Amino acid sequence: MSRFYTIYFSPTGTTRRCVASFCRGYGADPDASIHLADDFNAPFPALAPEDAVVVAVPVYGGRLPVQVADALVRLHGNRAIAIAMVVYGNRDYDDALLELTDLLHSNHFRMAGAGAFIGQHSIFPEVAASRPDLSDEQKLIEFGRACKAAVSNGFEADNVPFIKGKRPYKKAAGAPLHPKAKKSDCVACGRCATKCPVGAIPADAPYLTDTTKCISCGRCITVCPEGARHHSGVAYSLAGALFKAAFSKRKEPEWVVAK
């Protein structure tokens, strides 16, 4: 019996939403879902050639987040089917989809499809605000249906379709912007410290952020029940205004499916 899995990293939830819409089009509920933001060392399922996996990752600096790429090295394909998905904040996905596809291909997956979709920017939420929207959702469903059809029809395993990007990939770079908590709004519930995927928030002083560890993923902002965590400061406001001016023109999803 074939099994269907989703593996994703989604600190602020847009990648997870894209995966859910894809699954509607693919016509299957996952047998298991692994969220790497909860644990980069989470065990992966042992895969058989008839199994299928959707791997979905947000784009950071035109690449995969380093911790995600490192975790995915442990995912052995054993000739199972993979669908690669990246989600980006309307600037560009640069080499991220190529990097993810290369990684899965070299881990012995058969690539059925690859797509780049747009989600609200997790550092500058005025850019691509509320995406994926209804139109994105329909396209994700369409992509899911196309992948399902490729799998049902039996696609050429090593005929990986053209994917945008260059090798060697662009240099990975972290964002210099890190969220902070307003101490007077923080009730010290500890939720942000527990949920931070890289342990950048001290449990005994959760209004602080260790900027040497923080990857700017925004999960602490999303999970704080008091709305105490924010990006702030002059550098952030200035960068936000420039970013919004440069990258607000709507981009549309792109995908390829194996034949």
Ligand X SMILES: Cc1cc2nc3c(=O)[nH]c(=O)nc-3n(C[C@H](O)[C@H](O)[C@H](O)COP(=O)(O)O)c2cc1C
- List of residues contacting ligand SF4 (CB under 6 A): 11, 178-179, 181, 186-192, 196, 198, 200-201, 206-207, 209, 214-220, 224, 226, 228-229
Amino acid of residue 58: P
The CA distance from 8 to 245, in Å, is 30
SS3 219: helix
- On whether the CB atoms of residues 248 and 90 are closer than 8 A, the answer is yes
The CA distance from 52 to 187, in Å, is 43
Q: Choose the contact partner of 224 out of ligand SF4, ligand X, none; CB within 5 to 8 A by kind.
A: ligand SF4
Q: Which of 4, 6, 12, 80 binds ligand X (CB under 6 A)?
A: 12
Q: Choose the contact partner of 190 out of ligand X, ligand SF4, none; CB within 5 to 8 A by kind.
A: ligand SF4
Angle at 19 between CA 15 and CA 25, to 5 degrees: 145
58 is an interface residue for ligand X by CB under 6 A: yes
Q: Choose the contact partner of 61 out of ligand X, ligand SF4, none; CB within 5 to 8 A by kind.
A: ligand X
Q: Which of 82, 84, 87, 258 binds ligand X (CB under 6 A)?
A: 87
Q: How far is the CB of 46 from ligand X (least distance, A)?
A: 27
On the CB side of 191, CA atoms within 13 Å amount to 15
Alpha-carbon dihedral angle through residues 200, 201, 207, 212, given to the nearest 10 degrees? -20
Binding mask 160-189 for ligand X (x = CB under 6 A): ---------------x--------------
The CA distance from 138 to 142, in Å, is 6
Q: Choose the contact partner of 201 out of ligand X, ligand SF4, none; CB within 5 to 8 A by kind.
A: ligand SF4
Q: How far is the CB of 194 from ligand SF4 (least distance, A)?
A: 9
The CA distance from 56 to 42, in Å, is 15
Question: Residue 22 — φ and ψ, nearest 5°?
Answer: -55, -45
Residue 231 tokens, joined = 């990006």
Task: Please give the residues from 16 up to 55 whose contact with ligand X meets the rule CB under 6 A.
Answer: none
Angle at 230 between CA 228 and CA 235, to 5 degrees: 150
Q: How far is the CB of 221 from ligand SF4 (least distance, A)?
A: 7
89 is an interface residue for ligand X by CB under 6 A: yes
Smaller CB distance to ligand X: residue 157 or 198? 198
- On whether the CB atoms of residues 254 and 85 are closer than 8 A, the answer is no
Q: How far is the CB of 67 from ligand SF4 (least distance, A)?
A: 10
Residues that bind ligand X (CB under 6 A): 10-15, 58-62, 87-92, 119-123, 175, 216-218
